Amino acid sequence: MEGFEKTTSALSVLITAANKVDAAISDDGKISLTEGIGIAMTGIGLINIFKNIGEIAGELKNITPDALTALIELFKTKFDLKNDEAELMVEQGLEVLARLVLVVFAKKALTLLPAA
């Protein structure tokens, strides 16, 4: 997404980490040493999120309803839990929260948000 590179990158890192944790605990409810190392390696990407938090905030401060919809769709496409019901609840919760943040914090004139 043009203009939201840092945000998209941060979202991808978070989704990858969540998917790895879900995959690790889905079989026996535990995280093995090997799985833990894989999760930790993914967690290294969190450093860039914290390093770029100011730029991410700047990108989000100027987000439009269309760009927000594209970010939500990116999340829904990449986020994949073994439990489809839990996945749907997380996706819907994130979408509601994201749209609320847009309405509350957007600098631009408020317009009707596109239908989800």
CA 89 vs CA 40, 80, 81, 86, 109: distances in Å: 26, 12, 11, 5, 30
* Residue 116 confidence (pLDDT): 54
Entry pTM: 0.75
Residue 19: phi and psi, rounded to 5, are -65, -40
For residue 83, with 0-12 CB atoms within 10 Å meaning exposed, 13-18 middle and 19 or more buried, which class applies? exposed
The domain limits of the chain are 5-105
> Quick check: 115 pLDDT over 80?
no
pLDDT category, 13, cuts 50, 70, 90?
very high
Do 68 and 11 meet the contact criterion of CB atoms below 8 Å apart? no
pLDDT category, 4, cuts 50, 70, 90?
confident
What pLDDT, in 10s, does the model give residues 42-98? 888 899 999 999 999 888 888 888 889 999 999 999 999 888 998 999 999 999 988
* Joined tokens for residue 1: 């997404």
Classified as helix, coil or strand, 69 is helix
* Residue 109 confidence (pLDDT): 43
* Residue 75 confidence (pLDDT): 92
